[in-house]
Amino acid sequence: MSELEKYKKQTKKLKKENTKVYKKLHTLINNVEKNVENTMNNKEDDVRPASPPPAGAPLPLPYRDNSINSWVSSLRSNIYR
């Protein structure tokens, strides 16, 4: 059993206790799975807009730092909103 499957089973308890947090977490997990599948199939799509966003606006995901620490911190901030 993969780590992801174990993690999904553990989130069942979270789903019962806090559905809002669970939905955000579930969406993030599904997005990660899709990205992994696309990477494995070499079907990465560049979804950047033609021009960068205006100053002061949050950057869309393709422009953000792709490091693990950045991903973990964004995951935490999405969960605790």
pTM recorded for the entire structure: 0.34
- Does residue 67 contact residue 42 with C-beta atoms inside 8 Å? no
Q: What percent of the chain has pLDDT over 90?
A: 0
pLDDT of 6 > 80? The answer is no
Please give the pLDDT value at position 50: 57
| 21-58 per-position pLDDT tens digit | 777 877 888 888 888 777 766 655 555 555 665 666 66
